[in-house]
A = this chain, B = another copy of it.
Amino acid sequence: MRLLADMADPTTDPLSEGNVLVFATGPIVGSGLPIGSRYDVVTRSPLTSTTTSANSGGGVRRCDEAGGYDAVVITGRPEEPVYLFMDGGYAEIRGASDLWGQTTNETTSAIQRENDDPKISVACIGPAGERLCRMASVMNENSRAAGRGGVGAVMGSKNLKAVAADRDRVLRLKEEIVSKIRENAISGGGLPRFGTAVLINVINKNHILPTRNFQSAHFPRAERVSGEEMAGTILVGKMGCEVCIIGCGREIELAGKRMEGPEYETIWAFGPDCGIDDLAVIAQANVRCNELGLDTISTGATIACTMELSEKGYIDETIRFGDAEAMHDLVRRIGYREGIGDDLTEGSLRFARKHGHPEASMSVKRQELPDYDPRGLQGHGLAYATSVRGGDHVYGHMIAPEVLGSPEKLDPYTSEGKAAWTKTLQDLTAVIDSSGSCLFTSFPLGADDYAAMIAAVTGFDINTAGLLRIGERIWNLQKVFNIRAGCTKADDSLPPRLLEEPLREGAPAGRVWERQPLLDEYYRVRGWDGEGRPTAAKLRELGLGELPPHLAGVPAR
């Protein structure tokens, strides 16, 4: 009503161009409350000459859901009949000369056929509205009527045959997405059945499961801490984030008590990396970390580093690999900063450096590396080295092509072509994270799927290239931030052990991580200079030419 009052002079002939026709939903529509499905057609009535607000139930409310529209206001009058088509924030006025004269049912069917979707919501007029009958209605979903006050005649006077909303763009996508997730071997099989720990045996078999602080890449008793082992012993249930249909989370029972089960990374950090082969011990360390609010990867890996320092005699304390009690005690000490924990809480690099052996810290940019040995994974090593947030397996996630064959299988031992792959996966994972999506959906889904979903939800015109560009923007902005924060090319590297000490066992035996060719190529494909600095031209290309004052001066020429 406010829109009508603001836009229309009440003395204007209701059937003239000056009248305004408002389709409006309300705040309850789309709220999930089972009472909100109505919309109003508000205008000056040609029957009563007063304001009118014909109310109807049904699908045009989807204008709101699909496009984020609260109201659609129709003014003016085109020469020829038209209809308004709305699809996820996108609105188009289309010719409707062929629809003129048709009944409301015929019109609805024709628009649904034309757009190849029988679920498109159509509000339209029939011959009565076209002929400006003062008792013409607007019909939606064939049989629901915004009936009174002659609102159909006002629509007819504007040569507007229909307002159609594609209400199923998100819903259609949902069906497709659900079936892709369910049919994929990882998201529909391994992850729901065995949780993220389904990877333990796979990674160990490939001799890339870091063991005893990366002193080896194979843990002989890995099976005892695998997802399969968990499923056959302590597992009592599955957990998923809200709305998730994968459900990779685990619920376990220990000593009669139900608790969350450990993830793959956590199992590795408190298991193989610390020389522990007891799932119950690992699960207890996990629960304790959660209670204290500690990152399980950095905590476990820092303890593993401490164990190596101890075994090599670089520190006074005696903390051996495989010592469950010592490990549990260190978790507590780190969380409360007690004794040695006060130093350990600074992270493995600061601790190891303090004791003269920084090389014992298996970290990148001071953050502890996760559980894939890059000596057997050239691309994944590059993702580790160049991650803008330090040692991290999620950004980039080259494990997918190099081990799991998703989206295609790459030779993990070669550095060739890995820079471009790493860049693409870094940009993709950055935009997936930013979208609020779960990264595990990237096994069944491709960049085109994410682009389609984000386009459907936001109404933005985003294709696959546009999606990756968003990721690249995120990545470059982080890189600029990091350079200003003090990062240099030297930080884009891995611990010396991974560059200098070849693996000794299995298929990747004899290999180290090949920094030089990978990094040079990576900077090149990123469009950065030889020192790894984004160029001003690159940033301008990405629409990041205007940086806040505290970031100015960072880009290379």
Is the C-beta of A516 less than 8 angstroms from some C-beta in chain B? no
Copies in the complex: 2
Interface SS, A side? mixed
Q: Is the CB of B550 within 8 A of A10?
A: yes
Q: Is the CB of A34 within 8 A of B178?
A: yes
Q: Is the CB of B1 within 8 A of A49?
A: no
Q: Is the CB of A293 within 8 A of B10?
A: no
Partner of A293, one of B2, B152, B433, B482: B152
Q: Which of A186-207 contact B (CB under 8 A)?
A: none
Q: Is the CB of A57 within 8 A of B438?
A: yes
> Taking the nearest CB of chain B, how far is it from the CB of A436, in angstroms?
3
Is the C-beta of A94 less than 8 angstroms from some C-beta in chain B? no
Is the C-beta of A81 less than 8 angstroms from some C-beta in chain B? no
> Chain A 486-507 against B: per-residue CB contact (8 Å), 1 yes, 0 no?
1100000000000000000000
Q: Is the CB of A296 within 8 A of B105?
A: no
Is the C-beta of A90 less than 8 angstroms from some C-beta in chain B? no
Contacts of A48 in B (CB 8 A): 365-367, 389-390
Q: Of the 9-residue stretches A242-250, A307-315, A319-327, A414-422, which lies at the interface with chain B?
A: A242-250
Contacts of A25 in B (CB 8 A): 436
Q: Is the CB of B453 within 8 A of A33?
A: yes
If A49-B366, A389-B50 touch, whether A335 touches B127 (CB-CB below 8 Å) is: yes
The CA-CA distance from A445 to B35 in the complex, in Å, is 11
Partner of A367, one of B45, B143, B365, B454: B45
If A142-B290, A147-B295, A367-B47 touch, whether A55 touches B128 (CB-CB below 8 Å) is: no
> Chain A 441-457 against B: per-residue CB contact (8 Å), 1 yes, 0 no?
10001000000011011
If A10-B484, A291-B105 touch, whether A38 touches B438 (CB-CB below 8 Å) is: yes
Q: Is the CB of B104 within 8 A of A58?
A: no
Is the C-beta of A513 less than 8 angstroms from some C-beta in chain B? no
Partner of A26, one of B26, B243, B435: B435
Q: Of the 9-residue stretches A297-305, A399-407, A525-533, which lies at the interface with chain B?
A: A297-305
> Taking the nearest CB of chain B, how far is it from the CB of A343, in angstroms?
11
Q: Is the CB of B45 within 8 A of A390?
A: yes
Closest to A101 in B: B336
Is the C-beta of A149 less than 8 angstroms from some C-beta in chain B? yes
Is the C-beta of A238 less than 8 angstroms from some C-beta in chain B? no
If A35-B244, A390-B48 touch, whether A148 touches B1 (CB-CB below 8 Å) is: no
> Taking the nearest CB of chain B, how far is it from the CB of A41, in angstroms?
11
> Chain A 245-258 against B: per-residue CB contact (8 Å), 1 yes, 0 no?
10001000000000
Contacts of A346 in B (CB 8 A): 134
Closest to A106 in B: B291
Partner of A294, one of B27, B128, B435, B478: B128
Of the listed residues A27, A59, A366, the one surrounded by the most CB atoms of chain B closer than 10 A to its CB is: A27
Q: Is the CB of B127 within 8 A of A177?
A: no
Q: Of the 9-residue stretches A166-174, A217-225, A227-235, which lies at the interface with chain B?
A: A166-174
Q: Is the CB of B50 within 8 A of A336?
A: no
> Chain A 21-44 against B: per-residue CB contact (8 Å), 1 yes, 0 no?
000111111011111111110001
Chain A contact residue count (CB 8 A cutoff): 139
Q: Which of A457-495 contact B (CB under 8 A)?
A: 457-458, 474, 477-478, 480-482, 484-487
Is the C-beta of A150 less than 8 angstroms from some C-beta in chain B? yes
Closest to A332 in B: B127
Partner of A548, one of B6, B28, B61: B6
Contacts of A458 in B (CB 8 A): 27
Q: Is the CB of B177 within 8 A of A34?
A: yes
Is the C-beta of A145 less than 8 angstroms from some C-beta in chain B? yes
Partner of A59, one of B62, B178, B242: B242
> Taking the nearest CB of chain B, how far is it from the CB of A439, in angstroms?
8
Is the C-beta of A512 less than 8 angstroms from some C-beta in chain B? no
Contacts of A120 in B (CB 8 A): none
Is the C-beta of A131 less than 8 angstroms from some C-beta in chain B? yes
Is the C-beta of A272 less than 8 angstroms from some C-beta in chain B? no
Q: Is the CB of B135 within 8 A of A295?
A: yes
If A131-B345, A244-B37 touch, whether A124 touches B293 (CB-CB below 8 Å) is: yes
If A44-B485, A51-B389, A441-B35 touch, whether A551 touches B294 (CB-CB below 8 Å) is: no
Partner of A438, one of B37, B134, B335, B392: B37
Contacts of A457 in B (CB 8 A): 27-28, 31, 33
Closest to A143 in B: B260
Is the C-beta of A99 less than 8 angstroms from some C-beta in chain B? no
What would 25 A/B residue contacts be, using CB atoms closer than 8 Å?
A5-B477, A10-B481, A10-B484, A26-B436, A27-B436, A29-B436, A34-B177, A35-B453, A38-B433, A48-B389, A50-B482, A51-B388, A51-B485, A58-B242, A61-B436, A104-B292, A105-B290, A134-B345, A134-B346, A135-B347, A135-B368, A143-B239, A147-B297, A149-B367, A150-B298
The 4 lowest CB-CB distance pairs between A and B, nearest first, are A26-B436, A126-B293, A57-B241, A143-B260
9 new A-B contacts, CB < 8 A, other than A28-B437, A57-B242, are: A1-B478, A4-B481, A26-B436, A37-B242, A38-B438, A49-B485, A50-B478, A50-B481, A138-B293
